[in-house]
Amino acid sequence: MPKPILLAIDDDISVLEAVVQDLRRNYGQDYRIVRAASGAAALDICRQLKERNDIVALFLSDQRMPGMTGVDFLQHALTIYPDAKRVLLTAYADTEAAIRAINSAKIHYYLNKPWDPPEEKLYPVLDDLLEAWKQGYKPPFEGIRVIGVRWSPMDHEIRDFLSRNRIPYQSLNPEQNPDALALLKEKGIDDAKLPVVLFGDGTALVQPSITELANKVGIPTQAQQKFYDVVVIGAGPAGLAAGVYGASEGLRTLIVEPNAPGGQAGSSSKIENYLGFPSGLSGDELAKRAFLQASRLGAEFLLQRVTCIRSENQYQIVQMKDGSEITCHVCLLATGVAYCMLDVPGADKFSGAGVYYGAALTEAMACANETVYIVGGANSAGQAAMHFARYAAKVHMLIRGDSLEKSMSKYLIDQIGATPNIVVETCTEVTAMNGNSHLETLTLKTPTGQEERSTSSLFIFIGAAPKTDWLPKELVCDSKGFVLAGPDLKAKAPGAWKLDRDPYLLETSVPGIFVAGDVRYNSVKRCASAVGEGSIAIQFVHQYLATL
User: Is 347 domain-assigned?
Assistant: no
Which of 136, 152, 187 terminates a domain? The answer is: 136
Q: Which of 431, 464, 497 is the last residue of a domain?
A: 464
Q: How many CA atoms lie within 13 A of 100 on its CB side?
A: 8
SS (H, E, C) 15-63: HHHHHHHHHHHHHCCCCEEEEECCHHHHHHHHHHHHHCCCCEEEEEEEC
Neighbours of 279 (CB within 10 A): 9
Domain match, 451 and 490 both:
no
* Residue 349 lies inside a defined structural domain of this protein: no
Average pLDDT of the residues in 129-134: 92
In a domain, 125, yes or no: yes
Q: Which pLDDT score is estimated for 164?
A: 87
SS3 394: strand
- The whole-angstrom separation of Cα 457 and Cα 350 is 10
Same structural domain for residues 177 and 132?
no
Q: Strand order in 449-454's β-sheet?
A: 429-435, 439-446, 449-454
Residue 2 pLDDT > 90: no
Query: Both 192 and 105 in a single domain?
Result: no
- Residue 132 and residue 11 in one domain: yes
- 304-321 average pLDDT score: 95
Check whether residue 366 and residue 438 sit in a common domain.
Answer: yes
Q: How far is CA 410 from CA 103, 324, 417, in A?
A: 22, 47, 10
> Which pTM value belongs to this model?
0.72
Nearest 5°: the CA angle 316, 321, 323 is 70
pLDDT score recorded for residue 369 = 92
pLDDT band at 93 (very low <50, low <70, confident <90, very high): low
C-alpha radius of gyration, the chain, whole number: 26
Instruction: Convert 349-386 to b/e letters by CB count within 10 Å (16 or more is b).
Output: ebbbbbbbbbbbbbbbeebeeebbbbbbbbbbbbbbbb
| Whole-number Å distance between alpha carbons of 64 and 241 | 42
Q: Is 346 a member of any domain?
A: no
AA letter at 112: N
9 with 132, same domain? yes
What letter does residue 411 receive in the DSSP assignment? Answer: H
Domain with 480, as residue range(s), is 227-337+466-546
427: left (phi over 0), alpha (psi -120 to 50) or beta: left
> Does 165 map to a domain?
yes
* Sequence-distant (≥ 6) Cβ neighbours of residue 516 within 8 angstroms: 238, 239, 241, 242, 332, 333, 334, 506, 530, 533, 534, 537
Count of alpha carbons within 13 angstroms of residue 26, beta-carbon side: 17
User: What's the confidence (pLDDT) of residue 92?
Assistant: 64
Are 311 and 407 in the same domain? no
What one-character-per-residue DSSP string does 300-369 give? EEEE--EEEEEEETTEEEEEETTS-EEEEEEEEE----EEPPP-STTTTTTBTTTEEES-HHHHTGGGTT
Predicted confidence at residue 1, as pLDDT, reads 61
Q: Across the strands, what pairs with 460?
A: 357, 375
Q: Across residues 344-371, what is the average pLDDT? A: 88
Q: Which residues contact 542 (CB under 8 A, 6 or more apart)?
A: 249
pLDDT in tens, 153-188: 999 999 999 988 989 898 999 888 888 888 888 888
CATH classification of the domain holding 428: 3.50.50.60
CATH of the domain at 205: 3.40.30.10
- The amino acid that residue 438 corresponds to is H
Local confidence band at 266 (pLDDT 50, 70, 90 cut-offs): confident
In this structure, are 158 and 121 located in the same domain?
Answer: no
Among 198-207, 255-264, 272-281, which is the least confidently predicted range? 272-281
Find the mean pLDDT for residues 61-84. 90
Pinpoint the alpha helices (H) of 81-209: 95-104, 118-121, 123-136, 153-164, 178-187
Does 57 or 102 have the greater pLDDT score? 57
The whole-angstrom separation of Cα 139 and Cα 202 is 20
The pLDDT tens digits for 300-310 are: 999 999 999 99
Based on the fold, state whether residues 132 and 42 are members of the same structural domain. yes
Shared-domain flag, residues 131 and 16: yes
DSSP 197-224: EE-TTS-EEES--HHHHHHHHT---S-S
Same domain, 11 and 110: yes
List the one residue out of 50, 117, 100, 101 whose CA is nearest residue 79.
Answer: 50
DSSP state of 226: S
The verdict on residue 263 lying in a domain is yes
Beta-bridge partners for 36: 9
pLDDT band at 140 (very low <50, low <70, confident <90, very high): low
Residue 15 CB contacts under 8 Å (≥ 6 apart), including other chains = 62, 113
Instruction: Point out the domain boundary residue: 436, 464, 492.
Output: 464
Residue 73 and residue 123 in one domain: yes
- Residue 457's contacts (CB-CB under 8 Å, 6 or more residues apart) are 354, 356, 363, 366, 367, 370, 371, 372, 373, 392, 439
